[in-house]
Amino acid sequence: MTPRPRIPPLRAPRLRIAHTADLAPAGLRAVRDLLDVAFDGDFSDEDYDHCLGGVHALVYDGAGLAAHGAVIMRRVRHRGRWLRVGYVEAVAVRADARRTGLGGRVMGALERVVDRAYDVGAVSASDAGARLYAARGWQVWAGRIAAHGPDGVVRLPEDEGSTFVRPALAGSLDPAHELVFDWRDGDVL
């Protein structure tokens, strides 16, 4: 009788939470590579820079990095008060691992960070990403969006309707008053 070939066991996807400072250069390279592929080459150096300096949720499977997302701290002025925002960045799932729940695992980990460490959560969503955030209870911000730029407050109408807030504190936010985010290079949101 011929012995059967040994088939390695399938490795369940493994979630890792780490600050940018705890990721080795090879790990950061894997994140950048995943983002470049997942966003079809439309992920700029500034976009990548925006996801650094915070907490990353990384899901690994037998083929390597399968999903990623990060939450970084930003500031937003609302009703005359500056709030600490857990801003979600760079959520992506490798093409062959999409629709398997990995995006939800990443978001669950990031939401835990947002809920425990920030006044409010926010994310600017693509059309594809909007479905994930809405399904998890994030709410489209119904008010005006602006940023405090080098020359003062600048309204960002292109980000209205695609910016979501985390519902834990969304009830304390009033859409009659704008959200004024801190400025940054590249896409402000």
Express each pLDDT in 112-169 by its tens digit: 999 999 999 999 998 888 999 999 999 999 999 999 999 999 999 999 999 999 966 6
CATH number of the domain that residue 62 is part of: 3.40.630.30
Is this prediction's pTM over 0.85? Answer: yes
In a domain, 9, yes or no: no
Per-residue pLDDT at 4 exceeds 80: no
User: How many separate domains does the chain show?
Assistant: 1
In which domain, by residue range, is 102 found? 14-182
Q: Is the pLDDT of residue 8 over 60?
A: no
Residue 46 has pLDDT above 70, yes or no: yes
Q: How far is CA 107 from CA 16, 55, 104, 111, 185, in A?
A: 12, 12, 5, 6, 25
